[in-house]
Chain A
Amino acid sequence: MRTFIRQNSLSLFFGVIFLAALVGQAFAGHAEYNAQLVTDGLATVSLGRYITSSSFAVDVAENWQSEYLQFLLYILATVWFLQRGSPESKSLDEAGTESDKEQKVGRYADDASPVAAGRGGLPTALYSSSLGLVMGLIFFASWGMQSLAGRIAYNEEQLAQLQGPVSWSEYVTSADFWNRTLQNWQSEFLAVGSMAVFSIYLRQRGSPESKPVGAAHTSTGVEG
């Protein structure tokens, strides 16, 4: 058991802090939601009704979509784009999808390779892009959920203010939808871009996201 925990501590750690943050968001969001209802002279709701509401769903989904978009773009952009001196980049002569031999696919797959890597054809093609495909699917699903839940939450606020509801097509071209979307995107793009650049000159001893402390600023694609 202790070995399992140690060997999976990274995913377990993030799983635990994800749940803790989600619970915290539920309590804080519930308090804010009820405060607005009181201001509008409307009935407050229980925590249970809040966490099944569109208001909670849109707040969760808008952050999920931007996080999955961030990592999707990072996964795809780092295939082709390079950053001299960054451990986040491949070596400067490795841009692209690389050879079958380097990627251990088809006849170059070895005994330890996943079955789909050695099968060839569509299974290998799909498996070769499976990380991006799944991240992309979660991104589009979350963004879609944001648009559906966001419209209901937006209309709920509209009606409480004696304003008319909007259709889905009106909502996805509205300022509310794009403000929620772009305010998340800009912060994700800034964070990931700045990490790629900071890691050229700065170090975090022991982290695979950093170069070794003594590595040259010019060395690229070297992880510590």
Chain B
Amino acid sequence: MGPDRAATAFTHAVASSDGELACTLLSDEVSSTIAESSGMPCPAAVLQADLPAPSAVQGVQRYGHQAFVTTGTDTVFLSEFPGGWKIIGVGCSPRGEKPYECAVSGG
């Protein structure tokens, strides 16, 4: 599964309230971070996040093991792991020179 399909699968999983599936598409660090910060298991926490509605992929840029996917409503950061592409930031908005601010990330 390429980075664009992973991003699309995640947003559709969230939209259909399938938190279990959505969490399998997050990196380990991101899934544990949102679980710790919310005090809920990842599948419940990810459905509480302020994420935009699914939209068609508009662009994919891949550099080495990192990828940057833009949709009509969102920017998604992904990284390649042995198990495939996983999300390291989703629901992201630019902040000028600073890192994007993401609704779900490992930071």
A and B bind: yes
Which of chain B's residues has its CB closest to A55's CB?
B64
User: Tally of A-B residue pairs with Cβ under 8 A?
Assistant: 59
Task: Using known A-B contacts A43-B81, A162-B100, A162-B102, determine if residue A156 contacts B65 with beta carbons closer than 8 Å.
Answer: yes
Could you say which of B66, B89, B99 contacts A156, with CB atoms under 8 Å apart?
Answer: B66
In angstroms, Cα B42 to Cα A69, docked, is: 54
List A contacts of B89 (CB < 8 A): 162
User: Is A35 part of the contact surface with B, judged by Cβ < 8 Å?
Assistant: no
Contacting pair A163 B100 (CB below 8 A):
yes
Task: Using known A-B contacts A41-B106, A42-B79, determine if residue A162 contacts B88 with beta carbons closer than 8 Å.
Answer: yes
Contacting pair A42 B64 (CB below 8 A):
no
User: Is A165 part of the contact surface with B, judged by Cβ < 8 Å?
Assistant: yes
Contacting pair B65 A45 (CB below 8 A):
yes
In angstroms, Cα B25 to Cα A134, docked, is: 50
User: Is A60 part of the contact surface with B, judged by Cβ < 8 Å?
Assistant: no
Q: Chain A nearest CB: distance from B10 CB in Å?
A: 16
Contacting pair B88 A42 (CB below 8 A):
yes
Contacting pair B27 A41 (CB below 8 A):
yes
List A contacts of B94 (CB < 8 A): 164
In angstroms, Cα B35 to Cα A44, docked, is: 24
Contacting pair A43 B82 (CB below 8 A):
yes
Q: Chain A nearest CB: distance from B42 CB in Å?
A: 15
List A contacts of B100 (CB < 8 A): 162-164
Contacting pair B107 A162 (CB below 8 A):
yes
Q: Which chain B residues numbered 73 to 107 have a C-beta less than 8 Å away from chain A? A: 77, 79-82, 88-89, 92, 94, 98-100, 102, 105-107
Q: Chain A nearest CB: distance from B100 CB in Å?
A: 5
Q: A162-B89, A165-B61 are in contact. List 14 more A-B contacts (CB 8 A).
A: A41-B29, A42-B65, A43-B65, A152-B63, A153-B63, A156-B64, A159-B77, A162-B92, A162-B99, A162-B100, A163-B98, A164-B68, A164-B94, A165-B68
Can you give 8 contacting A-B residue pairs, CB < 8 Å?
A41-B106, A153-B63, A160-B88, A161-B99, A162-B89, A162-B92, A162-B100, A165-B68
Residues of A within 8 A of B (CB): 41-43, 45, 53-55, 152-153, 155-156, 159-165
